[in-house]
Structure formats: structure tokens, C-alpha cells
Structure 1
């Protein structure tokens, strides 16, 4: 689908976005971004400018149509939010098929053309190239090429590979119309109970900084342009040190603490990413407790509400003049079905929605994530509590990103090209190799247990062809690559068991069941059962480390223990057999016990005496 294009008297092709038959300066592709913004901004009504400042969830029809009714999570029909409320920034959720995703995106842009100035839509997404399916944080790859979680990229310690991943993800995103990534996540994984670690590059501020910049350059390029995906780097000023590891999505996790006085470590990745040109930055939900910066006590309100952080630190001290996008649903409670998740108005719960919007604007934020309540901001402007000049300041920043991305000149995508590009074989092959390589060998024989890795592949002559293998949580077709699968450990030559890192299941609040929080201890019954398997045959355990786990009880009887961070069963088998050599290094310390975790300061990277330290990883011979 392509819009009708016109040619000016000077012979310049342009899109007549406001339908007046004239190539206005904002429609002129020859002019600078600054000139085009300066021309368009005064033309916009207050309602159009306010609409730019809201960035909510949208859902796509599986058949490529737009949804003209509220969805499972999206709040309003598509035409209502685009034409009635003038919104044109949307965070998309499920996209199962590339061709249908592109078709839906083009249909959405066609609706946006009907708005008074044809402002094109910007589609954003949480990460969707790995394994974890969590509507509040990330999506499984499905049609897209599948890679390890960010922790797995960190385990590879390869900035060039991270930039290659970013470039591949960029191509797949652009093919279906996704032009903004709500990532990279630059938080430090210093609190092992925290639920968001899988999306980080680990605990070390230097590694996080190096890989964060490489990631950004892969998505945006050296400068933001028509082939870029604009990055929203998050969560400023570092979201890792959550009190007791609880997540700030939820009221019990609102506090962010710095008992080790390591605020500077958590801030460290942001200045280099700003220097590299990140299009936007997202402050975290967390509410800082007892935090001082340069001798100034920081107000104990959520970072999105905090003028000292957004204006004082980010804009004035660090010099960031790009878009500041709030995290999701700071203003209104989120009602999904019969469930309610309270607004993340941490520290300002007593304020009305109007007062919350005003506080966020005064803090220096440009855009409200997860909200579509434009009437609140319109009321504030009409009542004189927020000036239209302040609205113009944010609207100009938001329009500039759209112009730099080339959306005003042609926002449409090619459905056929999308079907070919997304999940392309070489992209999938690169992701698969990264999955296998990122596997981290933690133990391979010790204290009388002989090394068992690498296991000879079943296709080999000799041992691998004769081996009988008992497996748990490993697909039979993948396990066949290790040998003949048997039903009992007693009949096996080796056992391979995959485990998720432990967590405490919770489900009373919306989204809560998708977040892995709480204890890192395996249940005693599981440990006892694994010990019985190990008594029957050598045992190989893979622990999926979406966050650290206490592996201490497994070490006395497991012949080999490996960690993975997003690795499918076939790629794991390739790693265990050495078909693709596993070279991963731990992106964080693994603690010896939960007692050690409870004694540990939430903001400090690593332990004095970990079970396995950051950077540990054995090499298979």
C-alpha cells in the first residue's frame, strides 16, 4: 500500500498530508528536521499536540486488520485513539505472522492519514527476539529470529556480536513497521531476586556500558535515519537495586535502595548511551529511598515524577535533550477484565490523576507511557496549570524523531518484503549459534565425579551411537541427538535435566504471574529427586538463568552443571556435545545461599565469596 503522492511545481515528490494541494514546508523532504518541525508545530491544534504526548498499548488483528474494539489489554478501538484522541505512538503486543503484521501496520497508517495533518504512527515494542513471554516486559520471538535473552548476549562478551544482533533485529522490526524499541535495558543485575534481570547485560557497569552502546548502534546506526529503529534506553537512572528484589511494577516493590552507596555504578551506562545518540530515555518506576546526589537529598517519589532526576540530572547535568518517555501507567489504575493493577504513582499515591499528570510534566517528561487519558492534560492547559509552551517543547521533540525516521515521507512497508525479511534463515542461524555459544559450563566433574562433557553426539560412531539417555524437560527430537532416549534413569548411561531458576509463584495482581520473583532456592524435594537420578547414572543439569539461582545443593552429585539464558533444546544439545562450543561466561555472581542474598546490599555488584563469580565459565576440551 502506498499513499497518493504529488509533485510540486519544482518537481519535488511529496505527500500532501494536510490535503491543501500545496507542498508546505513540513511536507518538503529537502528541508532539515528543525525546519520541518518549526513549520508543523504552529499548525497543530492543542488536541493534536497533546495526542503526541500519549503512548499506549495497541493490539493487531491476527488477520492483518485493525481492532475496532478494546482488546485484551488495549483500552479503546483503533480509530477512536488515532482520530478521536489524536494518538500516534503505540506499543504493539502480539505479532504472530510477519505478512499480517505488515498488513495491519499499513492499515493503521492509512487511518492516521485521515487526521488533520496526517501525522504518521510510530510503533514501539518491548524486546521480542528471545524466549520470555511476559506482557509487561518482553515477548517470545515467534516469527522473528530467536536469540538468547540479553543476559546470554552478555555471557558471550562480544560487542561486535551484540551490534550484529541489533542490526538484524532492526531489519526485522523495520520490515513490519516497528520503528521504536523500548530497549536496551541498561539496569545492573545487582539484586539477584529482582524479576527483570533477563533483559539486562548483567551486573558489571563496564560490560553493561560496552554492550549497551553496541546494542544501540545496531538498532539506530551512527545517527537516527530512515532505516533506523529509535531506541528508548532504560530505566534511568538504573532500575536494578530494588529493595529485597521486589519488582516496582507492584506496590510492594516500589522502593529502590542504595545501602552500598553505589548509585554511580547504576548511572554509569547512561552518559555513553546519551553520547551515542539514544533517541529517548525511560525513567524507572522505582522510588529512591535515602538517596543523595552531590549532597542533595532526592525526593522519595517515583523517578518518572522526580524533577531532580529527570530535569536536574538527566537534562541539565547529563545534557540529554531527547524524548523522555515515562514507564507504563503512572497515572491511572490499569483495569484488565476483573483485575486491577494500581497506578505506579509511587510516593504520590495521594494525588489525583490531574495532579499526577501535572507532576510528571513538571518533572521534565515528554510522553506518558501506557496512558491515553488526553483529557487530563487538556484540562490542565485550559485551566492554566500547564502552559501551551510547555506542550510545544515536548511535541517538538516527539515530531523530530518521526521526521528523522522518515515517517512523514513514507511510513508504509512492503508486505512481501516483510514476509521474506522476518525470520530469514541467516538471521535464524546467527541467533541459533548465539544460543548454543552462550551456554555457560559451571561444573564438569569434581570431587570424584568424572567430567562428562562434551557428550559425543548420537550421529557419531562409538559411544554416542550406543548411549542411552534419560531426559527431563528436553524435547524428544532434540534428545535424540544425544542417543537413545529411555524412560528410567536406571536404564540410562547419562541423564540430562533442564530446570528453570527457582522463583515464588504469585498471581493476585495483574501481570504478577509472569514475573519471577522471590527465593532462589530449589525445593528440597526436587533436589532429593535429582540426587536419586544421579545415583543411577551421571547427571547433567542445565539451569535456565533468567536470574541467579542457588546451585549449591546440586554440586555434590551433578556430574555437570551448565547455565543457559535463552537456548532452545536443539541448541542446548549442540552445546553439550560441543557441536557448537559453549563459551559463555557468567554475567553475574551466583550466590552460595539465600542467607548470603539476604545479607547482600541490593546496589552492590557481586559478593565477597560467591559460589561462582562473574566471568566464570569452563571450556570444553
Structure 2
């Protein structure tokens, strides 16, 4: 589909990306990615090099066209960022259909071909195969196959299941032109209140390391190549131990703490990611507090600004030479409508945006996530505050990934093939099975002389009182009751508790604060159980303090992103739930507050320990 595919005198087909009619070494598909990178590096202008070092949000036009005005989150028209600013890395947001995004990818790549050297675009995405809607971290599946959140994949406790998910997701991403995954998120969820656990793989470092290897292998293959999706593993050196569980997206959550001295424990999955060739790494926003490692005090600045973390530890001690992409918006405040979110320049808040860019480069990062302020870096170069050799070091890494992915040879996709593959029936079936089997049963009490689950005791179309679950999910074996008093059984789905916040941009989407259910809800559920057996299923994006519920529920289970139909399949035994907790469930908030943020399974006398789960 290339606009400029030519044939060299020796019969080699190539894309004439610099429009001169001859095959330059960087256009020669027979040469190694390394040789092609070195050739192109000598040809690019400084403006083109700088453009490669920025990645921002981009949005898809309604019909797969290019959006030529600012979007909901994207700041600039598409042509402005690709042609005007020479940018070639973008994080795509809302996707409605596979055909729409495939068409858009092709239009985007055709626009990129019009630039002086035709550098193709790399499209990235946050996770988008599950249920979460949070523009800051993840998106619901939309046209893609739908699976549980990563925490649910971990609950399956099956390395091959992780690999299977990654292989399916890779195929679906690849079909529509997405070539970079801003995941896996392998932070260890050691702080029970932290608001980003749903996309993590739990808090058992050794098990998370095994999951990480399978995840990266499923997306990238044995080596990064034309069929791969490059993984940007996050958030180095582990974003889980946030002070009081507050998230570092926000000023009140900037401190990352290690009261238990477990810094190296949190590194384990990242070491595995490096060993298995992750293409990139993303440091977190957090600012280490009172951290001493190997006798050296670590500077109290955000990890993206921290040379001891990126250059000395990640690149030096651990030997990582892939791309380091900062997390989003370390340089400029983010204004969306009437809301603002301050730049996550923790520890360097007093620096100007230019000075922040300098600090990030000095720290060793290659790309500025969520930014498009190319003019600031060009100014720094013109002023002699940044050397072009430093730019070349990062651009070399960024280009090498593009060449290895085969983007210079063919970045286009087939709309019909994308529509046929994305959300394919067998992929959906695998996702549904994972949704149902990952459900973790915590309580299963006796009813009529046997455990209530599976619901085989209830025959002859029982009457079910339900909340937050569609009646169609059980209409083939039961009928709805208007009230608990007229029901044979009650099934209630709940969200894990959180404290709503909505002052800063993105804040309303993050579930933070207390893990306790409101006392009024507990009282109402107890009253329901007075009339009929009560089954409670909690959506487990964070642990919940379930202690008050246990005395009166007949069954208690957690899901990690499951449809109503998948939940009922597990409860009825149509699919056997085998989920095991990837993190522990504390007994009380007092136990949570007394625990150490960096230590796994550190709450006193947990209600349910990590890896707990009943068989039914």
C-alpha cells in the first residue's frame, strides 16, 4: 500500500521514503536494522531527530480519518504533529471499530511518507482488552476480545494463560497497526490501597517475574521482528510502594517509600523483563523518600528525573540498552477543559519546562511521554545546553525499534483482514473463559446440606433478586424476583470501595483511599440475607475490607473484570472458577495503615492470604 514502492536495478523492491528515486541504505530491506539505523541517523535533520524523542496522545477521526483539530485529550491537529513537528510516536485513545482504526493507521502512515525521510509512525496503546475505563491508564476492550484485567490473569496462576492472552492481544494489535504496547505493568501491588492494582500482576515478585517472561514472549516473540508488538514495560523500578497508597499521578501521592527495605524485591520482575528483551522501559512518577541503596542516598526526585535510577541502575547495573520512555507529562501542566493536572515534576517543581527537559536527558531517558514541546528541546540545542551527540544516542535506540518491527518496509494493514481478525469468535471464547475461571471464591457456606456453590441446588427456575447484574445473564435457568422477600436467592455485584475525588484532571477515574464499605451498605446487605441466601461478588480492582460481610453471606467471590454472563457461568458451575488471590485481603483498615508499603503480605492476620481461593 506504500505510495512510493520502487524496484532497484538489481530487482529489490523498496520504499522510496526520501523521494529521490534511488535505494538508500536505510531503505534497503536486505540490510540489518543496525546498519539501516546508522545510515538514517546521518541523514536526519536536527528537527527530525528531536521529533522522534516525543510521544503524545493522538485520536482517531470518526470514520478513520485524520483528526485535524484538537480532540478530547490530544492537543494538536494530526498534520501539525507529524509534518510540522516531525513526531512519529503516538499513543492512540478511543477506538470504535477495527476497520476504523486500520483505515486511520493507513492514512497516518501515508501522511508520514510525505515527510523528508518518510519515517513511519509507531502507534502505541495502554491496555485495552479488559473492562477498565480510565483515560490515564487503560481502556475497555471495544472491538477487541475481552479478558479480565491483568490482576485476573494473575489470578489464573497459569503462565501459559498469560502467554495465550499476550499472543491474542498481539495479533489484534498488529492487525490494526498498533505496534507498541505500553505494558506489561509489573509493579508489585504491595500497598493494598494503591489505585493501579487492576493492571498489575499481583505482589508475589517471583510469580510476577514468571508472568512477565510469558507476557513479553507473547507480544514480542523470541526476538523483536515484523510480527511483534514492542513492549514498554512499566513502571521502573516498581510503582507499587506509594506512601499511604496514594497515586503518584497526583501531587499528594508523589512519595514512594521503602520502610521495609524491599527496594530490590520490587526490581525482580524488571530484571526478568530485561533478560527477555523488552523493547522499552518506563519509569514511574514516584519520588523516592529516604531511600538508601548500597550505601548511597538516592536523590528525592521523580524516577524520570533520576540519574541514579535510570543511568546508574537501569542502564549500568542491570545492563538495559533499550528505549526509556518517561511516563506522561513530566514537563508541562496538562489542561483539559476547565481541569488541570500539574506536571508530575516531583522534586523539581521549581524548574522551568526547559530545565526539566535537561534533567530528564541527564537522567538517561530517550523519549518524553505525553509531550509535544519539540521547540523547547530545539532551543536547548541552539543554546548549547544539550549536545547533538546526546540526542543521537536516544534517536539511535528509537529508530532501531522501528527497523526491527519492519515499519520502514511496510507499516500498512489490511482493513478487511483487521475486521475479520479483531474480536474473532475463538479469541472472544478464550477471553470469556478467562473471565469466568479467574473468579476467586472466598466463602462457600452450606445450604440445604451442601456448599451453596455451584448453584445446582436451585432448580425449577428459582426466583433471584439481583443488583448490578442483568437479568438476561440468568434468564435461561431462573427468573427475577422483585424483592429479597420473594426470592429464593440473592446475587449482588459490588464495586470495591473507594473515596470519590474529582478536583484534578483524571482524579475521578482513580479509585483511592479507604477500602471499607459504607456501614449503610453493610446493614442493607445483612437485611437481604435475612430473607434469602446471599451471594456477593466484588469487582476487585483493589482489595476490599470484607470482614463485616463474611458473617452473613452464603457465598463471597471476587472478579477482576468479568461480564455478568461470565460471573453466572462460574456460579452455576458451567465453567469452574479456579482463581487464586494475587494479593492478600486485609482484615481491617487498621491493619492496612500499620503495614509497610513495600512489603508483600504485610497486614496483620489477613482475612484471606495471597494465593487463597476455594475450589467448588
Q: TM-score, normalised by structure 1?
A: 0.98
SS at match of 1:109: helix
2:322 equivalent in structure 1: 322
2: CA distance, partners of 1:3 / 1:513: 44
| Structure 1 residue 449, shift from structure 2 partner | 9.6
Give the 5 Å matches for 1:302-341.
302-341=302-341
Which residue is equivalent to 2:135?
Answer: 135
Indicate the SS of the match to 1:391: helix
Name the residue aligned to 2:611: 615
Q: Distance in 2 between matches of 1:479 and 1:495?
A: 12
* In structure 2, distance between residues paired with 1:399 and 1:114: 18
Work out the number of aligned pairs and report it.
615
Question: What is the deviation of 1:271?
Answer: 1.0
Aligned to 1:502: 497
Give the drift of 1:482. Answer: 4.7
2:478: which partner in 1?
Answer: 483
CA distance in 1, matches of 2:572, 2:102: 39
Residue in 2 aligned with 1:376? 376
Q: CA deviation at 1:481?
A: 4.1
Matched, 1:282 2:277: no
Q: Which residue of 2 aligns with 1:553?
A: 548
Task: Measure, in 1, the Cα distance between the counterparts of 2:546 and 2:166.
Answer: 32
CA contact 1:469–1:482 (8 Å) conserved in 2: no
Q: CA deviation at 1:338?
A: 1.4
Q: CA deviation at 1:292?
A: 1.1
| Residue of structure 2 in register with 1:597 after alignment | 592
**Equivalent residues of 2:494, 2:539 under 8 A apart:** yes
Question: Is the 2:2–2:15 Cα contact (8 Å) retained in structure 1?
Answer: no
- 1:499 is paired with a residue whose SS is strand
Q: What's the CA shift for 1:466?
A: 3.1
Query: Match of 1:62?
Result: 62
Hey, what does 2:79 align to over in structure 1? 79
Separation in structure 1 between the aligned mates of residue 523 and residue 451 of structure 2, nearest angstrom: 22
Contact persistence 1:450–1:559 (CA under 8 A):
no
The separation in 2 between residues aligned to 1:424 and 1:223, in whole angstroms, is 26
Q: Is the 8 A contact 1:481 1:573 kept in 2?
A: no
Q: Is the 8 A contact 2:4 2:17 kept in 1?
A: no
Report deviation, 1:467.
1.2
Give the whole-Å Cα distance in 1 for the aligned partners of 2:449 and 2:145: 38
Who is 1:269 aligned against?
A: 269
RMSD: 1.1
Identify unmatched segments of 5+ residues in structure 2: none
- Is the 1:151–1:197 contact (alpha carbons within 8 Å) kept by the matching residues of 2? yes
CA displacement at 1:447 relative to structure 2: 12
Instruction: Spell out the pairing of 1:209-608 with structure 2 (5 A cutoff).
Output: 209-445=209-445, 451-456=451-456, 463-606=458-601, 607-608=603-604
The answer to whether the 8 A contact 1:455-1:482 is kept is: no
Confirm or deny: 8 A CA contact 1:180 1:229 kept in the other structure: yes
Listed as ranges, the gaps of 5+ residues in structure 1 are: 457-461
Aligned to 1:49: 49
Query: Residue 176 of structure 1 corresponds to which residue in structure 2?
Result: 176
Does the 8 Å CA contact 1:482/1:573 hold for their aligned counterparts?
no
1:28-53 residue CA offsets vs partner (Å, 9 max, x unmatched): 00001111011000100000000000
Q: Is the Cα–Cα contact under 8 Å of residues 193 and 246 in structure 1 kept in the other structure?
A: yes
User: What corresponds to 2:147 in structure 1?
Assistant: 147
Structure 2 SS opposite 1:573: helix
Partners in 2 of 1:602 and 1:3 — Cα distance? Answer: 54
Partner of 1:459: none
Q: 1:415 to 1:372 in 2, by over 3 A?
A: same
**Structure 1 residue 62, shift from structure 2 partner:** 2.0
Using the TM superposition, give the Cα deviation of residue 608 of structure 1 relative to its aligned residue in structure 2, in angstroms: 4.0
Post-superposition offset of 1:2: 3.6
Deviations 1:372-416 (A, max 9, x none): 000111111111111000000000000000000000000000000
Q: Which runs of 4+ in 1 moved over 2 A?
A: 1-4, 446-451, 462-466
Alpha-carbon distance in structure 1 between the residues aligned to 2:476 and 2:442: 22
CA contact (8 A) 1:256 1:289 kept: yes
Contact between 1:59 and 1:94, CA under 8 Å: does it hold in 2? yes
Q: Deviations over 1:394-449 (max 9, x none)?
A: 00000000000000000000000000010000000000000000000000017999
For the 8 Å contact 2:185–2:200, the answer to whether it is kept is yes
Q: Could you tell me how far apart the structure 1 residues matched to 2:577 and 2:449 are? A: 21
Distance 1:78 1:449 in 2: 65
Q: Tell me whether 603-612 or 133-142 shows the greater mean CA deviation.
A: 603-612
Question: Take 1:539 and 1:291, find their aligned partners in 2: how far apart are those partners?
Answer: 47
Query: Which secondary structure state, in structure 1, belongs to the residue aligned with residue 327 of structure 2?
Result: strand
Question: Which deviations, in whole Å up to 9, do the C-alpha atoms of 1:70-124 show, x marking residues without a partner?
Answer: 1110000000000000000000000010001100110011110011000000000
What SS does the aligned partner of 2:198 have?
helix
Partner SS, residue 247 of structure 1: coil
Q: 1:100 & 1:447 partners in 2: Cα distance?
A: 51
